[in-house]
Amino acid sequence: MGAPLPDVIQTAVVTGAASGVGAQIARALHAAGFRVVISDIDSAGASALATELDMAGETAVTATLDVSKPEDFQEVLDKVVDCWGSCEVLVNNAALTKAQPVLEISPEDFNKILTVNAGGTFAGSQIFGRHFKERGYGRIINMASLAGQNGGTTTGAHYAASKGAIMTLTKVFARDLAPFGITCNAIAPGPLDSPMVHDLVPADKMPGMLANIPAGQLGDPAFVANLVALLAGPAASFVTGACWDVNGGLFMR
């Protein structure tokens, strides 16, 4: 299942890769020898990262992507195939959150968060999954969250619900695509030293949050990025349908 393709330089598309955890994932995959497509609605940030990784544009390129639009995923895939012939890895990282008490979430906000986070993961996995099936090989790596496991209130009920949905979608795609040499796994980070966490948690509340984490610190986004690189590589050929916790012991199963 999912045996590596021989003598092929593999290409990975990372959504929401212009900054934060997504940028770290793109860096880790590039360092591991993958060509990377830095896809984001922030075209300026994506271009800056692509230049950082490869000024010549031979192993790192950008693609404008709004994950709430399935047609954007198809355009990105078509661009990759035109440029490099195929794609082997999709990392569904792009996400939105909005800290709101559950009784104050509007239907519009709920639907927007679910459409971007869960809907984007579904659309990307489906569209790239078809390409991977034709190739007889592929890796789909989805970014879930601790919030999807414990109903975390800091990130909002809509965010938690979307991440729970992503964990379920991971299992569905893993089961249905395994016969075609495709693996699908999820990563569920806890609080990371990332812009999103610092935006959600006021500085005066940070010591209290850290006190609840057995490891006593925020996670380094590089921990998540390195795990993505592992799951995208040959060492994870027999791993599918799994959800990997990266939370410093904050949630144990």
pTM exceeds 0.85 for this model: yes
Buried b (16+ CB within 10 A) or exposed e, 223-245: bbbbbbbbbbbeebeebbeebbb
What pLDDT digit, counting tens, does each position of 105-139 carry? 999 999 999 999 999 999 999 999 999 999 999 99
What pLDDT digit, counting tens, does each position of 8-44 carry? 789 999 999 999 999 999 999 999 999 999 999 999 9
Q: Assess if residue 251 is contained within a domain.
A: no
Of the pLDDT bands very low, low, confident and very high (cuts 50, 70, 90), residue 209 is confident
Q: Assess if residue 170 is contained within a domain.
A: yes
Q: Assess if residue 206 is contained within a domain.
A: yes
Mean pLDDT for 170-196 is 92
Q: Assess if residue 253 is contained within a domain.
A: no
Residue 164 has pLDDT above 80, yes or no: yes
Q: Assess if residue 2 is contained within a domain.
A: no
Residue 47 has pLDDT above 60, yes or no: yes
- CA–CA separation, 138 and 131 (whole Å): 8
137 as an active site residue: the answer is no
Number of domains in the chain: 1
Residues 6+ positions from 146 with CB-CB distance below 8 Å = 152, 188, 189, 190, 191, 245, 247, 250, 251
Q: Assess if residue 6 is contained within a domain.
A: no
Cβ distance 225 to 32 under 8 Å? no
Distance in Å from the first CA to the final CA of the chain: 27
Q: Assess if residue 142 is contained within a domain.
A: yes
Residues 6+ positions from 89 with CB-CB distance below 8 Å = 10, 11, 12, 13, 29, 34, 138, 139, 140, 141, 232
The CATH number assigned to the domain holding 174 equals 3.40.50.720
Cβ distance 32 to 44 under 8 Å? no
Which one from 122, 137, 159, 173 is the annotated catalytic residue? 159
Q: Assess if residue 4 is contained within a domain.
A: no
**Full domain range(s) for residue 89:** 11-244
Residue 219 has pLDDT above 80, yes or no: no
Residue 166 has pLDDT above 90, yes or no: yes
